[in-house]
Amino acid sequence: MMKMGNNDAEEKKVVSVFRSKTRKLHTTRSWDFLGLSEAVSRRNAAAESNVIVGLLDSGIWMEGPSFKDDGYGEIPSKWKGKCVTGRNFTSCNRKVIGARFFDIGQIDNSIDKSPADEIGHGSHTASTIAGASVDGASFYGVAGGTARGGVPGARIAMYKVCWVDGCSDVDLLAGFDHAIADGVDIISVSIGGESTEFFNDPIAIGSFHAMEKGILTSCSAGNSGPELKTVENTAPWIMTVAASTIDRDFSTVVKLGNNKKLSGVSVNTFTPKKQMYPLISGSNAALPNQSDPYLDPSWCDSGTLDEKKVKGKIVYCLGSMDQEYTISELGGKGVISNLMNVSETAITTPIPSTHLSSTNSDYVEAYINSTKNPKAVIYKTTTRKVDAPYLASFSSKGPQTIALNILKPDIAAPGVNILAAYSNLASITNNRHSLFNLLSGTSMAFPHSAAAAAYLKAFHPTWSPAALKSALMTTATPLKIGDKLDVIGAGTGQINPIKAVHPGLIYDLTRTSYLSFLCTNKRYSDSGSALAILTGDTSLNCSDVPRASGFDAINYPSMYVPVDRNATSVSAVFHRTVTHVGFGPSTYIAKVKSPAGLSVKVSPDTLKFDRAYKKLSFKVVVKGAAPAVGQAPLTASLEWDDSKHYVRSPILVFKV
């Protein structure tokens, strides 16, 4: 069970009690692809050095070169945290300035605990955000280059709340409490679970308290795509991040005995020792009298293959469900498998392996069946340039199921085949270890957005969490559309940190703004307890909160109209207020793009600012025929243009 108060000093003030659940971690070309190269000039290196990013994750491996503190100055004076030592963790430094661990939920059974990363996840996310530059980094020679974080000058504070068996709610809340009290500027959380009401969600609660202290929380959207309604971490004060692709992909080529070369997907770090190896299919390597109806030798299922037939050979398998481990145990030299649905995600394999498309797999099978002594060789993985960015197929999509009128995810960031630091305490495959690893997931995407927010924070230290998020959302690059439903999972597009430094206008929000939004929901307006649980303030009541207006009751950078299944028409009015954060007077003109049959009217359509930080309001009226069930979302956009800044908000209409 857990207590929820505002901070450590208020632990005796119990607002609510509920059962702690166990949650899961959502598991370097990317920064160059985003335009934030090493050559980018920074306004003030000292400002970036004063930014502290707190991570709620699986710990950190301090021996990695990404976390060395060579050249770093004194720890920022605002830092109030601690460095807790223990097994495999002897000290922090001027780069990783704080580390704690939490196991109040008793997830881990070991006696000597510490902030050391035994999974590799926390080290990967931390280095993606703020890792020092490391030349010559690679994963066993694959994806070589310089590995670094988006804000390599920033400081890291690690709050280990996740263990091998998961992450408990009570530890999450404790991590939030300490990160807020310690003085971090950005909080990064790569944890998710089943969506629930915000007052029952520890991440929503913790991030609300962080927002009250001026701290933006960046969270992963989840890895349950391409299904709809799977997005997680959907509170409006959270920056919810989808995963997108980058322009680098991996190719693992197999050459057959007839000299035919076929390209597949994997991360194969092994160089072949022979020119060719004998090739056999799983069905031809089957044990005699195999009769279990649930096991199939053509798929190379464990227990179906004859070791004598497999040993020393490359095996062709119909599916790709961890057969590499089965073949490795039988003495096989490699695996060619049918990926069925080609994915952008390359999986690290314990032995030479490549996953082919169905067409290429059919060719391999035909070659085996028509050749007396079939042979093949699998080459080490190489990189290739591809078109990008697209939404990653695994990235969770909206619409969300809690705050129905808010589009989530908010934004997308690179999350496919990302090279970053790892932990020597974590085994990769077959007890192999590496200082760097290639991973994919929204867990790889959200640290890019967290780093982008930290980058902005160095330029605009007084901006609110909502202002930082707005700047990133309205300057994002729209994703390329691979599937008609990708727009419901892409947010405003892929982050563009350089453009976000000067967004022109921002959609700002305060604590009162969020309370006004919440109080439009009967769960909060009819019961003071829900509001008290979320905010920690037992005296707060919706009758004391200003009434929100507009279709979604919030000043959000995106606009979303969910359509009832039986509705034939659409009608929604959005009320928005923007703050001019440019230099001097400026006039913005509204530019609308909308599909046929959908009317989008902006009033007024011109905003004249005579000074910086002036606020002006407008409304957007959306009307038209409702889309059909299963039809792609109707996609429109509003862009405020002053010839220097282009402040873009997507407008989506969707019938689920």
Strand-pair category, 382-385 with 248-256: antiparallel
Strand partners, 383: 250
CA 625 to chain centroid, in Å, comes to 34
Tokens of 167: 């992450």
CA distances from 92 to 11, 112, 602 (A): 28, 18, 53
Strand-pair category, 334-338 with 411-414: unpaired
φ and ψ at residue 321, rounded to 5 degrees: -120, 65
Question: CB under 8 Å to 308, separation ≥6 — which residues?
Answer: none
Nearest to 407 by CA among 231, 533, 271: 231
Give the whole-angstrom CA distance, residue 101 versus residue 86.
Answer: 10
Element (H, E) at 255: strand 248-256
The DSSP letter of residue 423 is -
**Catalytically annotated residue among 443, 470, 513, 516:** 443
Indicate the residue type of 410. Answer: D
Strand-pair category, 615-625 with 646-655: unpaired
Tell me how far apart the terminal alpha carbons of the chain are, to the nearest angstrom: 37
* Residue 339 near residue 265 (C-beta atoms within 8 A): yes
Give the whole-angstrom CA distance, residue 255 versus residue 360.
Answer: 12
| Residue at token pair 């705050």 | 403
Give the whole-angstrom CA distance, residue 98 versus residue 442.
Answer: 25
Burial (CB < 10 A; 0-12, 13-18, 19+), residue 510, is middle
What are the helix (H) ranges across 27-120?
A: 29-33, 45-49
**Catalytically annotated residue among 121, 178, 448, 645:** 121
| Residue at token pair 């007084």 | 462
The DSSP letter of residue 390 is B
Tokens of 364: 């391999």
* Residue 256 near residue 262 (C-beta atoms within 8 A): yes
Tokens of 385: 């340039």
Strand-pair category, 314-317 with 334-338: parallel
Give the whole-angstrom CA distance, residue 397 versus residue 129.
Answer: 24
Tokens of 4: 């929820």
Neighbouring C-alpha atoms within 13 Å toward the C-beta of 18: 16
**Catalytically annotated residue among 57, 103, 185, 201:** 57
- Spell 583-620 as b/e; 16+ CB within 10 A means b: eeebebebeeebeeebebebeeeebebeeeeeebebeb
Tokens of 148: 């670094």
Indicate the residue type of 399. Answer: P
Strand partners, 263: 253
Nearest to 157 by CA among 84, 74, 72: 84
641 is catalytic: no
302 is catalytic: no
| Residue at token pair 């927010």 | 453
The sign of the CA dihedral 127, 128, 134, 136 is positive
| Residue at token pair 């008793």 | 106
φ and ψ at residue 474, rounded to 5 degrees: -80, -10
306 is catalytic: no
Active centre residues (catalytic): 57, 121, 443
